[in-house]
Structure formats: structure tokens, C-alpha cells
């Protein structure tokens, strides 16, 4: 289904031809992200991502945007913990020009001092923006609890200190050390031929060095006691983030892990949505999310709760966690979660951009691919008892962490800590 080519210079190319589409989505993935940094240079990957849009050897900042948007395309990028992706979706006939722009940005960026100085102020404002948004800041606090003094527990955008002191030379050095061809994957989906894509990539990367690695500090998942963090802020809601260590992205129970997430809070049919919002009216928004990395993960529950109902809401959430650990889910609930899981993947894969994300992320993270048929076959092996077992392994009491941002009172903090089982 997917065609892959490893070039002699170690750059990997993957594509999926979708003949009935009029578009092509293409991404250049780099196996470098926030966890490849340290406290001193935190935010470098994100800063570099911003800087690459400011111009390359062949294209100015204006040309990069105008050449792609001028034909009806979209252009963007994102930085994650383990990779960075620069991508575009365009009408299929503009693939050659679009790839030339993306590749020139990634392989031959200018990273001019004036652009770095200007973008620094933009990123500092971005950091302030996230701190001003309690629904974002509470997640940052939770990750600090889970991975203290580790890159995974630090803000992906960096700190005022690290970004404030970052120089053009720092960015260029990080680019040279992490954007080597062995660290890069080019992925594309839509109306295209694999051999044509390979030829474009081969031509653009000709003569460049392929071998250079980048390492990261392994995560420590050996938490021994419950941790809580309260941040008092005068806002209209209590913002709650409750989390425990999840499974790594290639774990044998990864599909059961995602089913646990769906059953708990993955949609409006989930247990938490029904119990916390629909039955008791304790929150407007409540959901869960499952995150997986190479050596760790995070299963997180988020809620925006009435200031006076936060204790009741947390009590219900904790009861639901105990319930999914101690009792098997019903057959109907199990089948609905499976169908939702597969259905969401299928709907996403209809779109060339989502399909490109699907194949590109797996190749850059795990150096392998996975088809929807393979997911279906693996999911057939997951049993109802697996849900209980996996939930029990994840939601161990000593692995629980709670962060709350809101107008907390001392009495509330004491009760919340007691609910979590934190001893004074």
C-alpha cells in the first residue's frame, strides 16, 4: 500500500498514491524535537521551526508563502517532543515547486540575525500567551510534575531565559547537528507517482551529508508517590489536569491503551462526559487524551470546572478511574470504542494531509509503517479483559498526578490533596 525508498545518502522517502484526489500533501519530517534539548537551550527546536520560514538560499520569506498560497495551497509546520514537520497541501500539479520550497527551507535556511532577533520577540509573546491561558498552563504544570528536571517536563516553546539568550549561532549549530539526512523523512500522499517524488528528493539532496545522529535523555517512569500542584489564578473556572504515565508508541498494548482513553473520555459517549457533565453538571468541558512517545506516555484527563464544584468533580473522576481498573467494561461499550477508534482513523485517511501525517509520523518515529488493515487485525486480538488490565497498570495510585489552575482557597487545596491521597 505504501511505497518506501531509502536513498544512498540515508534520506527516507515514503508515499501513498491516491488517484481519485486532486491534491497532494507533502511533509518534510525531522527526528528532532523538544526532548532533544536541555534546560539551557530549551525551545531551540521550536525557535528554529519559526526561523526557517524567514527565508532560504533560493526563496525569500515572501516567496515561500506567496508561491504556495498563490496557487491555493496551505503551508505550515509544527514542533513536537520527538520530531518537527514542515508541510504543505497543494493542487497536485504544483508538487515540484512546492517540494523545492520546503526542501530549500529545511536544508538551506538563511537564519539571518535580524530575523532571529525579530522572531525572538514573537516567541516570547507566545510564551506569555500560553501562561495567560489556564487550559494550556495547567498541562504544562502537570508535565513538570511527571518529568521533573527533564526536557519532557519543560515548556516546548522554552523559557524567557532560554529564548531570550538564544543566538543565531545557537540555531545554526542545532540545525547542523539535527537536520542531517539520516534524520529526515519526506512523506507525500495524493495524486503523485512514487518514482517522481524520489527523483525530486534525490535531486534536491544530492551531495549532502547523510550520517549524523542526535540523542535524548531517557524518561524516568519510576514515580513512587502521588504529586499535586496548585496554581492560584483569578479566573472564572478551575482548570484541572489529572495524569498518569501512559504507554510508549510501540508497546504491545498500544491499541488497548487507546481504547481505555476512548472509553474514559475520548468522545461525548464516554464515561467521564456522561458522569461529570451530563448526569451531574459539574463541568462544561471534560475529556481525556492518550499521548505516546518512544519510552513513555501520558494519559491525561482535562476538565474546566465550576469553582465551587471542583472537589465533587475530582471525586467523580477518581471513582471512574477505580471503576475501569476493577470492573470489566460491557461488551456494547467495548465494541463501540473499537468502532470509534477504527472509524476515526478511516475518516482521517480519506484526506491527503491526514494520511501524510499517518505515514510520516510512523516512519520518522519508529522507522516503519502501519496500514489500516494491520490496525484492524491487531484490534481484533484486543479483549475486554485487556481493558481492565491495561487500565490497572496505568492508573496505579502512586503514578497519579494532579495540577489545578484557578481561584483556589486553602480549604479546597487541603480537600483536593486528601482526595488524591497526599499526606500532609
Final residue of a domain: which of 204, 238, 272? 204
Whether residue 234 sits in one domain with residue 125: no
Give how many domains the chain has, as a whole number.
2
Which of 204, 236, 256 finishes a domain? Answer: 204
How far, in Å, CA of 104 to CA of 98, rounded?
A: 10
Residue 1: the pLDDT is 86
For residue 135, with 0-12 CB atoms within 10 Å meaning exposed, 13-18 middle and 19 or more buried, which class applies? middle
Claim to verify: residue 9 and residue 53 sit in the same structural domain: yes
Q: Is the pLDDT of residue 210 over 90?
A: no
Summarised one tens digit per residue, pLDDT across range 132-148 is 999 999 999 999 999 99
Identify whether residues 304 and 270 lie together within a single domain.
Answer: yes
Residue 158 lies in a domain: yes
Q: How confident is the model at residue 208 (pLDDT cuts 50, 70, 90)?
A: confident
Q: Do residues 151 and 245 both lie within one domain?
A: no
Which domain range does residue 261 map to?
A: 227-420
Measure Cα distances from 234 to 11, 65, 158, 408 in Å.
Answer: 50, 40, 25, 9
Is there a single domain that holds both residue 328 and residue 413?
yes
Q: Identify whether 209 is part of a domain.
A: no
Residue 334, SS3 per DSSP: helix
Same domain, 246 and 155: no
| Residue 404 CA: distances (Å) to CA of 99, 293, 401, 408, 418 | 44, 24, 10, 9, 14
Same domain, residue pair 272 and 143: no
CA–CA separation, 211 and 183 (whole Å): 8
Residue 218 included in any domain = no
pLDDT surpasses 90 at 211: no
296: pLDDT confidence band, cut at 50, 70 and 90?
very high
Q: What is the CATH number of the domain that holds 99?
A: 3.30.830.10
pLDDT above 80 for 69: yes
Considering the domain architecture, whether residues 193 and 236 belong to the same structural domain is answered as: no
pTM of the model: 0.95
Helix (H) or strand (E) holding 288: strand 283-292
Q: Answer whether residue 220 is part of any domain.
A: no
Q: What is the mean pLDDT of residues 298-320?
A: 97
Q: Are residues 7 and 138 in the same domain?
A: yes
Which of 204, 237, 256 finishes a domain? 204
Give residue-wise pLDDT tens across range 97-119.
999 999 999 999 999 999 999 99
Q: What is the pLDDT of residue 424?
A: 66
Q: Are residues 326 and 191 in the same domain?
A: no
> Which residue bears the cell 514542533?
79
Percentage of the residues of the chain whose pLDDT score is greater than 90: 96
Question: Are 198 and 249 part of one and the same domain?
Answer: no
Residue 18's pLDDT is what? Answer: 97
* Mean pLDDT value across residues 212-227: 90
Cα–Cα distance for residue pair 101/61, rounded to 1 Å: 11
Same domain, 116 and 255: no
> pLDDT tens digits, residue range 330-368?
999 999 999 999 999 999 999 999 999 999 999 999 999
Mean pLDDT to the nearest integer, 52-56: 98
SS3 per-residue string spanning 2-65: CEEEECCCCCEEEEEECCCCCEEEEEEEECCCHHHCCCCCCCHHHHHHHHHHHEECCCEHHHHH
Q: Answer yes or no: is 221 within a domain.
A: no
Amino acid at each position: 500500500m505504501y511505497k518506501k525508498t531509502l536513498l544512498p545518502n540515508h534520506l527516507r522517502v515514503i508515499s501513498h498514491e491516491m488517484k481519485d484526489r486532486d491534491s497532494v500533501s507533502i511533509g518534510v519530517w525531522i527526528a528532532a524535537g523538544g526532548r532533544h534539548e536541555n534546560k539551557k537551550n530549551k525551545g531551540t527546536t521550536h525557535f528554529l521551526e519559526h526561523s526557517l520560514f524567514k527565508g532560504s538560499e533560493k526563496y525569500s520569506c515572501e516567496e515561500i508563502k506567496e508561491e504556495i498560497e498563490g496557487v491555493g495551497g496551505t503551508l505550515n509546520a509544527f514542533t513536537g517532543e520527538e520530531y518537527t514537520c514542515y508541510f504543505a497541501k497543494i493542487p497536485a500539479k504544483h508538487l515540484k515547486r512546492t517540494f523545492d520550497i520546503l526542501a530549500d527551507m529545511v536544508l538551506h535556511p538563511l537564519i539571518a540575525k535580524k530575523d532571529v532577533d525579530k522572531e525572538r520577540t514573537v516567541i516570547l509573546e507566545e510564551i506569555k500567551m500560553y501562561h495567560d491561558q489556564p487550559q494550556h498552563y495547567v498541562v504544562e504544570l502537570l508535565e513538570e510534575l511527571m518529568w521533573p528536571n527533564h526536557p519532557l517536563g519543560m515548556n516546548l516553546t522554552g523559557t524567557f531565559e532560554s529564548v531570550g539568550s538564544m543566538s543565531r549561532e545557537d540555531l545554526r549549530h542545532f540545525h547542523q547537528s539535527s537536520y542531517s539526512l539520516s534524520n529526515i523523512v519526506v512523506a507525500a500522499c495524493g495524486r503523485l507517482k512514487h518514482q517522481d517524488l524520489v527523483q525530486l528528493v534525490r535531486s534536491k539532496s544530492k551531495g549532502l551529508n547523510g550520517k549524523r545522529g542526535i540523542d535524548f535523555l531517557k524518561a524516568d517512569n519510576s514515580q513512587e508517590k502521588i504529586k499535586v500542584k496548585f496554581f492560584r489564578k483569578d479566573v472564572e473556572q478551575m482548570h484541572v489536569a489529572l495524569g498518569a504515565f501512559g504507554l510508549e508508541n510501540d508497546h504491545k498494548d498500544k491499541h488497548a491503551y487507546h481504547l481505555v482513553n476512548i472509553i474514559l473520555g475520548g468522545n461525548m459517549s464516554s464515561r467521564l462526559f456522561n458522569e461529570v457533565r451530563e448526569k451531574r453538571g459539574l463541568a462544561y468541558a471534560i475529556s481525556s487524551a492518550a499521548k505516546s512517545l518512544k519510552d513513555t506516555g501520558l494519559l491525561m484527563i482535562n476538565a474546566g470546572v465550576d469553582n465551587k464544584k471542583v472537589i465533587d468533580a475530582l471525586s467523580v473522576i477518581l471513582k471512574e478511574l477505580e471503576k475501569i481498573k476493577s470492573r470489566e467494561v460491557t461488551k456494547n461499550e467495548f465494541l463501540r470504542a473499537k468502532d470509534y477508534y477504527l472509524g476515526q482513523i478511516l475518516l482521517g485517511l480519506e484526506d491527503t494531509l491526514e494520511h501524510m501525517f499517518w505515514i510520516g509520523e510512523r516512519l520518522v518515529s519508529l522507522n516503519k509503517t502501519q496500514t489500516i488493515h494491520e490496525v484492524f487485525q491487531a484490534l481484533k486480538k484486543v479483549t475486554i479483559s485487556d481493558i481492565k488490565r491495561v487500565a490497572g497498570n496505568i492508573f496505579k495510585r502512586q503514578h497519579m498526578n494532579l495540577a489545578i489552575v484557578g481561584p483556589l482557597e486553602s480549604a479546597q487545596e487541603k480537600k483536593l490533596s486528601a482526595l488524591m491521597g497526599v499526606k500532609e
